[in-house]
């Protein structure tokens, strides 16, 4: 904050990058809503349709850690605009094939796989570039705005718009996604020197650089505790989503569209959390904010398993979205303050990979538990698991926050 108490300006470079990210998120959301419909138009084999979803997510599994190394090597603005330029070409070529009625399952899988391989590079760079562009006091506000654009455009507006555009023309959503990548690339290129070039070591070695990032994350007790807690939280989140459509149909007894309603309500809660998190961070000590965001999220999950009316579940979904985004803003900002800039890409990619690996475990566990009991029990069990994990890690997080209070930005609001 300035001496007059007004907010520190985020600056033109941040807003250009934010706009580029927002455009990309919108395109991604549109494609997310259209891609399953496109796959289903080629085949009704559920194995192939599900494979089209799997290849798109394979990039993080295959190149997630490598992308962190490269983001630490390269100028981060350069990474962003070059990756989006390549994605524009790939998506544009695929859109042309669809419009010419030359697309098929192999081209769908190849395009999805290539775009999935490129995604981690942009995602990592767009996250770790924030400290290069804004002052330390403005990190929560900047990250909050990024979370809002992600939820609003990628989750709330994009998917239904993509489905509607698909009805007009099968290739239109993919073409718009290609244009979004091109616009985003042009925007970031216009401020390509806003991010400093990375220092290049004479003896660069992929394995050694990757080990440095992993070792830093593991040795840093605070970040390690937050990462392990996130592993549990992501497992819980994946479990929630895995059985949500059945919960909507059989417990809430809503039509199929009810699934989309609940996802949209969750996104609205997340947007609210993104807007409130910067303000809350100024008024609530960091440890209290981290603890509160996890506790209200866990209680909201339990509420899914206790209540059975749509109104109460909608309130719980809103709280769940708010708590999750509040947590994201706080932990992303904290990580950006604590990790040296030269390691931030690698630590961020390792942090995300741990969370990524937890997803399938949570989904399988929720499905198995629902099969053995009912559709409400998994929510109670998973909510209790999140609360228990939060309470287990809370003492370590509180102690390590106090120890890091004198570190890079660590003293802001810590008790």
Same domain, 371 and 247: yes
Same domain? 167 vs 231: no
Which among 141, 175, 196 is the end of a domain?
196
Same domain, residue pair 284 and 153: no
Does the residue 412 lie in any domain?
no
Q: Are residues 178 and 239 in the same domain?
A: no
Q: Please check the confidence at residue 408 and state whether its pLDDT lies above 70.
A: no
The verdict on residue 415 lying in a domain is: no
Rg, the chain, Cα only: 21
Helices 257-283, 310-338: crossing angle, 10 deg rounding: 50
Q: Is residue 201 part of a domain?
A: no
Predicted confidence band at 219 (pLDDT cuts at 50, 70, 90)? very high
Same domain, 132 and 84: yes
Model pLDDT, residue 15 = 94
CATH code at 366? 1.20.1250.20
User: Based on the domain organization, do 336 and 365 belong to the same domain?
Assistant: yes
pTM over 0.75: yes
**Is residue 347 a part of any domain in this protein?**
yes
The last residue of a domain, from among 196, 217, 233: 196
Specify whether 47 is located in the same domain as 192.
yes
Same domain, 94 and 213: no
* Residue 148 is assigned to a structural domain of this protein: yes
More confident residue, 66 or 6: 66
pLDDT at 225 over 90: yes
Q: Please tell me whether residues 401 and 257 are part of one structural domain.
A: yes
Domain boundary among 172, 196, 220: 196
Q: Which structural domain range is residue 62 located in?
A: 8-196
Average pLDDT, the chain: 87
Across the range 309-329, mean pLDDT stands at 94
Tokens 């990592």 identify what position?
124
pLDDT digits (tens, 9 = 90+) for 97-107: 999 999 999 99
| 303 and 395, same domain (yes or no) | yes
Q: State what percent of residues in the chain have pLDDT above 90.
A: 51
Residue 247 lies in a domain: yes
pLDDT at 2: 44
Report the range of poorest mean pLDDT among 10-14, 18-22, 160-164, 198-202.
198-202
> In terms of domains, do 39 and 94 share one?
yes
Question: How many domains would you assign to the chain?
Answer: 2
Examine residue 153 and state whether it is found in any structural domain, yes or no: yes
Q: Are 187 and 262 members of one domain?
A: no
At residue 26, does pLDDT exceed 60?
Answer: yes
């Amino acid at each position: 904050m300035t001496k007059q108490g007004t907010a520190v300006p985020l600056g033109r470079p941040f807003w250009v990058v934010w706009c580029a990210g927002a455009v990309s998120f919108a395109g991604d959301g549109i494609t997310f809503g259209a891609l399953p419909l496109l796959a289903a138009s080629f085949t009704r084999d559920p194995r192939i349709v599900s494979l089209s979803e799997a290849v798109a997510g394979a990039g993080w599994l295959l190149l997630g850690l490598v992308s962190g190394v490269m983001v630490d090597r390269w100028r981060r603005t350069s990474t962003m605009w070059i990756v989006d330029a390549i994605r524009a070409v790939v998506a544009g070529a695929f859109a042309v094939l669809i419009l010419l009625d030359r697309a098929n399952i192999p081209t769908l899988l190849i395009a999805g796989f290539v775009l999935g391989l490129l995604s981690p590079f942009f995602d990592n760079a767009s996250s770790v570039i924030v400290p290069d562009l804004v002052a330390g006091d403005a990190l929560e506000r900047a990250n909050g705005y990024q979370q809002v654009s992600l939820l609003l455009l990628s989750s709330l507006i994009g998917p239904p718009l993509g489905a509607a555009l698909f009805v007009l023309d099968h290739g239109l959503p993919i073409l718009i996604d290609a244009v979004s990548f091109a616009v985003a690339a042009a925007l970031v290129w216009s401020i390509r020197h806003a991010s400093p070039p990375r220092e290049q070591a004479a003896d660069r070695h992929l394995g050694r650089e990757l080990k440095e990032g992993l070792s830093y994350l593991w040795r840093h007790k605070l970040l390690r505790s937050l990462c392990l807690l996130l592993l549990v939280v992501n497992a819980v989140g994946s479990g929630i989503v895995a059985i949500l459509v059945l919960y909507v149909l059989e417990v809430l007894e809503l039509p199929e569209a009810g699934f989309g309603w609940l996802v949209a309500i969750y996104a609205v809660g997340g947007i609210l959390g993104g807007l409130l998190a910067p303000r809350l961070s100024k008024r609530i000590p960091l440890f209290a904010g981290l603890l509160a965001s996890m506790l209200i999220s866990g209680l909201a999950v339990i509420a899914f398993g206790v209540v059975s009316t749509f109104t109460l579940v909608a309130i719980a979904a809103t709280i769940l979205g708010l708590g999750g985004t509040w947590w994201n803003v706080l932990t992303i900002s904290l990580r950006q303050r604590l990790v040296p800039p030269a390691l931030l890409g690698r630590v961020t990619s390792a942090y995300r990979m741990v969370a990524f690996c937890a997803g399938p475990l949570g989904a399988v566990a929720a499905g198995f538990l629902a099969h053995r009991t009912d559709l409400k029990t998994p929510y109670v069990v998973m909510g209790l698991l999140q609360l228990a994990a939060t309470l287990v890690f809370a003492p370590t997080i509180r102690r390590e926050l106090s120890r890091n209070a004198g570190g890079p930005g660590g003293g802001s609001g810590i008790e």
